[in-house]
Structure 1
Amino acid sequence: MTDPAADRYTVAVLGLGAMGLPMASRLATRLTVHGFDIAEERLALAREAGVETFGSAREAARGADAVLLAVRNEAQLEDVLFGDAGIAPELSRGAVAILTSTVGTGAVDGTAQRLAELGVDLVDAPLSGGPVRAGQGDLLVVVGASPSALERARPVLDLLASTLSVVGDRAGDGQALKTVNQLLCGVHIAAAAEALALADALGLDRARTLDALTAGAAGSFMLGDRGRRMLSAYDDGGAPVLSRLDIFVKDLGIVGRAARTAGLPTPVAAAAEQLFLMGQSMGLEAEDDSAVIRVLAPELRKAPDEA
Structure 2
Amino acid sequence: MRTGVIGLGSMGMGAALSALRAGLEVTGVDPRAAARDSFAEAGGGAVARAAELPEGTQALVVLVVNAAQTEAALFGPDGALPRLAPGAVVISSATMAPEDARRIAERLGAAGMLALDAPVSGGAAKAATGEMTVMASGSAAAFDAAAPVLAAIATKVWRLGEAPGIGATVKVVHQLLAGVHIAVAAEAMALGIRAGADPQQLYDVVTSAAGNSWMFENRMARVLAADDAPRSAVDIFVKDLGLVTQMAKSLDFPVPLAAQAQQLFTAAHAQGHGQKDDGFVIRVWQALTGIKLPGD
Range of TM-score over shorter length: over 0.9
Amino acid aligned to 1:294: R
- Which among 188, 193, 197 is matched to residue 186 of structure 2? 193
- CA-to-partner distance for each residue in 1:189-247, whole Å, 9 max, x for gaps? 11111111111121112221222222222111111111222233xxx4x4332111100
2:26 aligns to what SS in structure 1? Answer: strand
Q: Cα gap change, 1:120/1:61 in structure 2, threshold over 3 Å: closer, same or farther? A: farther
- CA-to-partner distance for each residue in 1:260-288, whole Å, 9 max, x for gaps? 11111000110111000000000000000
Residues of 2 paired with 1:300 and 1:107: CA distance?
41
Structure 1: runs of 5+ lacking an equivalent: 1-8
Partner of 1:124: 117
State how many pairs are aligned. 291
Offset of residue 55 of structure 1: 5.6
1:144 aligns to what SS in structure 2? Answer: strand
Query: % of aligned pairs identical?
Result: 37
Partner of 1:4: none
- Which among 268, 280, 301 is matched to residue 269 of structure 2? 280
Q: Which moved more, 1:168-177 or 1:45-54?
A: 45-54
Residues of 1 paired with 2:138 and 2:269: CA distance?
34
- Which among 102, 113, 121 is matched to residue 109 of structure 1? 102
Residues of 1 paired with 2:163 and 2:292: CA distance?
44
Residues of 2 paired with 1:88 and 1:160: CA distance?
22
Offset of residue 21 of structure 1: 2.3
Residues of 2 paired with 1:71 and 1:22: CA distance?
13
Instruction: Provide the alpha-carbon RMSD of the alignment.
Output: 1.8
Offset of residue 166 of structure 1: 1.6
- With the length of structure 2 as denominator, give the TM-score of the two structures: 0.92
Residues of 2 paired with 1:185 and 1:61: CA distance?
37
Q: Which moved more, 1:65-74 or 1:205-214?
A: 205-214
1:102 aligns to what SS in structure 2? Answer: coil
- With the length of structure 1 as denominator, give the TM-score of the two structures: 0.89
Residues of 2 paired with 1:218 and 1:80: CA distance?
42
- CA-to-partner distance for each residue in 1:168-205, whole Å, 9 max, x for gaps? 22221111111111000111111111111111121112
Q: Verify: 1:167 aligned to 2:160, yes or no.
A: yes
- Which among 16, 19, 24 is matched to residue 24 of structure 1? 16
Residues of 1 paired with 2:111 and 2:54: CA distance?
14
Residues of 2 paired with 1:239 and 1:38: CA distance?
24
Offset of residue 108 of structure 1: 0.9
Q: Is the 8 A contact 1:16 1:36 kept in 2?
A: yes
- CA-to-partner distance for each residue in 1:116-147, whole Å, 9 max, x for gaps? 01111211111112333212111111111111
Q: Verify: 1:250 aligned to 2:243, yes or no.
A: no
Q: Is the 8 A contact 1:12 1:64 kept in 2?
A: yes
Structure 2: runs of 5+ lacking an equivalent: none
